[in-house]
Amino acid sequence: MRLDDSTLVTLGQGVHVLARGQGAVQFGMDATRSGIVDSRAAPALAATLTSTKWPVSIGELQEEVVGRCDVDKQQARSLIDDLCGYNILIPSARTAVAVLGDTHLAHEISRILEASGATVRIRLQRETTRAFLQRHVDSPLVVVDGGREYLMWGKAVKRHGNWVVPVLSFDSRVLVGPVSNHPTQACGMCAHMHISDHDPHAHVAAEQLADGPRTMDPAVAAVGAAAAAVTVRRLAGIPDPPGVVAEPPGAGWAAVVDPLGAEPLAPLQMEPHPRCPVCASF
């Protein structure tokens, strides 16, 4: 995102402004991770960032830093650029994310995404899946517990104009992915098919599960939703907190989230299933 004087910014998630003596400001408890800015006006800078009413435009913040920190405009802008580059300051504009699903897991994912700075779009009352997909064709799409959705609307989901993130809860685990942004890549139905490879009668259980109420262990729901939300945040370009170094997942990336098991998070690379009925139509 291009930052200019009119761009509204705010402090990043988890940032705490702390004066580190007279010569530096740090932005969290662990200076090796949270970041340090050296400045001869450190106390004034810390006071400025602490007292600012966020969000504020970069131009207004620049003037505030000039007035309170005894630096010129160029120095103030360079300092602000450094803070933006380290995600201490982030754009306040919210990113739209479409969430298709009405299970407890879908609601938990939506809650975390909203708290993370996304604007979550859900299906309106009486809105068809087709209309929902068309309305949000340019936004990242999360399809939660959507086995039937993939059977009925798999082609439309595959043609979606942005990233698609399937999320499937089963037993006491959550499968996030495979993420995709092109019809040739593995899809949510591929995930169902790969699971079915281990049990030829899995589809029978899946159909009965879809007709009954879903319950989830609260720990599994919380951790699974968090893993899904982090995946969506990175694909949508929502900044991580300062000090976090992680690349967004690529096409085919998936992970089994099993907080009660021996391996709480097991990433894997998923290929298109050779018998996937959705992929076969492309």
Q: Is the pLDDT of residue 73 over 70?
A: yes
Q: Do domains 8-91 and 95-281 have the same CATH topology?
A: no
CB 100 within 8 A of CB 141: yes
CATH superfamily assigned to domain 95-281:
NAD(P)-binding Rossmann-like Domain (3.40.50.720)
Query: pLDDT tens, 194-238?
Result: 888 877 766 666 666 665 456 889 999 999 999 999 999 999 999
- Give mean pLDDT, residues 131-158: 87
CATH of domain 8-91: 3.90.930.70
Query: pLDDT tens, 103-116?
Result: 999 999 999 999 99
This model's pTM is above 0.85: yes
Q: CA nearest 189: which of 106, 272, 252?
A: 272
Cβ contacts of residue 223 below 8 Å, gap of 6+? 174, 257, 259, 264
Domain boundaries, the chain: 8-91, 95-281
Give, as one character, the DSSP assignment of residue 138. T
